[in-house]
Structure 1
């Protein structure tokens, strides 16, 4: 067994493990999406208890980010879709990307109508009949055939297959039971059955344009017109079950609809500053969600696994609305947080069937979040920012009775972190001050039963900290001096005995009242087998276990 005494490396190894663990979690989530769904769900279930603990402590939302550096065709994301084969599709301002969990396949404009798009800007992605991907480009709707791997730019031939009228579809929505709704650019709305290949034309209001349609139940669906008129329509009779007008004076608005898990309807538009309108299921009341938003231009809405409503805003980040309390939390870019959103301008928001939320930002690529994905946020130093971790190389942690953290570093001294106020205080060695910490390399920390902090250092001895000054027991001879000045372990057992383990001087018992050190000897009068003590532990039978390194 190799023993070099470099315990100060343990903190680095611990963080490396956490980093690798988080990456493994992410890889389990995204690698080979078609074949690993069962494994992913198992991973989520196994670690859900860890996640619940972490997020109950107020850690927040941690995102992973994918950009053009990883192969994404462009960093400005407009829309996202996860298809039935578990491919992720990202529509951007300059092409289309398909992600299989390992690599990207990118599609751009090409005059070759079998392999390229009719134009690069993508504004909408939909999954149509037989798993085909309908791609709303700036010029017209394209269709990607999953089986053949080809793109059709002129889709009249596809529309004829389903007995649909020719034209330029703007939106296609699944209504379930082999039924789809197609909303054309001229506002024509057609419902068709893929099995019967039968189309039915919805009689819309003359002079008004339908801008969105969304299935509500087996018997009904919602439509919204560009003048703010919203209708709930019976699927077979076309009877208007409910109708109301939004309190908006502006005409010809491109509204969007969203239905949450409770059946409540949400109406919003990224083009005008209205926030969002919330209409509870079974109610005619229109509730405006506007005044408390960080930005009133809302482009997308999703609902997370906890029932919270996420509203994507322009330059205001994501506003998370709690329907029960009415409270709003803001998820935004944090300059010194690598796991925050890259920008506050949210251009797309999508929750896939696995519960993962995908966030597109203005030129920031795609960010994704799931509560079971990233278990460990990163705290690190950023030069010039006093609110960040003052020193990156960390050896030890301990939490006091006020839930604040004491952090021992490998060269940055002792750190105190006020959890509530998010403030760090640093204690460093001052050669001119005998009451300062004796070394900036802190390798052990312990709070005794009197809530006094004990600090073990590398080549600085043992210190007792009362909150103001450090009293140090350093290397020397005599009962009041510690023979070893590198204190690797501090431990108080159930009998009140204070144990000190050192790097090279063995194990000692410390009499706090008389401030005397006694080398440990067994009943036979023998010392432990090694002078290097790395860990101390008391079991349920009050036996003391000593971890050391035996040199052969």
Structure 2
């Protein structure tokens, strides 16, 4: 429905015109001219990221992005990549088809049928306009001077939008029904309204509107710049509008009949540009009209145009976005060589250019004329491998020998094959050295030369090189010759004597020396099937694809004579500044990334695939242009390209933060929520001149000296970044020179478990736990030791207790024996003791003992006797005790 609505609207102005239709050819006053191949057209359509190939509007925002409006969404372009804004990815959008762009200081307002969107790098505001678009749609938009907007619809109504409220414009009261076709803002207070019934002026200061043309004037498109103002009227043509609103016709109806009015613009040089309704572009300047045909667009209508200096941005109907810019790499632009598979290119002493092809023979360019030789003209073969010359003769090498052409007359002068002494008819190299010797290199170990007298010589080589294929050659500064081979490295010759053979540190499949270069320090560089090999002071270093080469194979190395070298490969041309070569010489980093500029079809090459295994594999002519053979024509690097200063027209912009599935616009700082371990940061390098000329590196830790190369220039992914404050830095280099470093603060929020307080608590808890564990361990250990000691003591006590019990039992037995002994002895002792005590008493009482009938002496004698008996008893008792002791032992 949106497409039908737009088509219907687009046909309105056609219906307003005459019924004569559009002519199939220009009138006699119109000049026709084709654009030469000095331009490059890059098409961005639905095969390259555009959601749909019909473009309704185009404008640049305040960040430098180019925005286009398609039926399937808004598209942002940075010169290298497209980003689509549609309802699927940005659900806040109420529609995804927009038709009109209006640029302001705050961004671009895009109008759909019933909503408007403010875009500036990203979507900033979405406004629902359904209440003012009942049974109609939006046709025009402008600022109202009070911070709001004026919105005009197809029914001829104008509304003011302020603070999210729509109100009809009180001073807009046209006398008759009309349709609004567009607004044009003259200044902050004056807006011109183009309608089907004339042009009106809205004065926002006086709050008045007035008709400034005839009501019969249909202002289909008002357009202009700061100097000129024009209007297109389908019946009359193109008029200029003066300051006092006078209309002066500048191009008649007949002159402007093929113009697509929706595309009309005025460039900075006051030329009018338009897409042609038939084909290409129309440029109107100083009364002249020129049609510019672009074969790439065929019959696709150009609907929108932006012109900036030498660049054109074309929005088409059905072909998407076409970017037209001057070619950095030029083309030969000779139909005879167009689309030809070009092999060697050689410049003779008379400045004529000789170009060999894969299957179409040999061509000579001289004084603007072209001449060719093929097999039917006497050439040995239409396939040309190498070209050289000496003494006015051009030698053309092929797989069947050498054809010799007289340089002055162009006549075939003879042939040189195996019959004349060549080791093989498969000729790879023809080269003239400083001694005027013509060297001829072939398969089967063939190294030959014609000396200054034209005498043919075959260089004798060791038998092991009899099957070697020689494919490249270079005369060094010391006049030695270096010859490259397949699988046998390089050979160094002094005159015609082999003095060195050195294999390269490559696998057999990689050891193909396509080209050789000697730098100002005398170090050697080899273009090989395995990268670029440096030979410096007897040591090799290899620069491979992972170090920044676009291709594994490098076909040529050629100096620009100024500050760097140019190399070719299967994907285009790479330029390496001399400063980067020095860095590579001195680095020990295996992950070294070499800064370079890259050029391909997008910069003017007829085909990105260049040719190798030929000699010369590239050529710098006498005017210092570099000629590159490709599979579809000749690419030429002008001297101006070699010496030009790099453009600084680029902008680095932080774009989106993607975290937890949500995108947010990056402004000054990004904050990563707690618990989110992965996030993505996108950025853009906005450059519409040569977006491939930059090398980007990043680091996340400013203390680190290591910069990481950015492979995908638009996205950086991070995982597991520690909580805290970080700074992301992106470094931009061009041709090895630092352009700028951009920084972005990143704050990673910590979860409770990642905070310092939690870590301190965890540390304290750990200390307590360790302390408890140690104590518990020591307690258990002590308990076990004590248990062991107790058990041991218990065991000892148990043993002692048994012994005590036994001892007690024995003691009791002994006590019993002793008691028995004591009892027995007590009875035995008591009697003499009593007796002795009695005698003692008698002696003590001498006065009365005479009554016993014994004398004192007898009593004493009796006492002594009794005491001796007592002594005997005591001895016997002691003897019994000793006997008990001995029994214990």
Q: Normalising by structure 1, report the TM-score.
A: 0.50
Q: Which has the higher contact order (CA 8 A, sep 6+)?
A: 1
Q: Normalising by structure 2, report the TM-score.
A: 0.32
Q: Which has the larger radius of gyration?
A: 2
Bigger helix share = 2
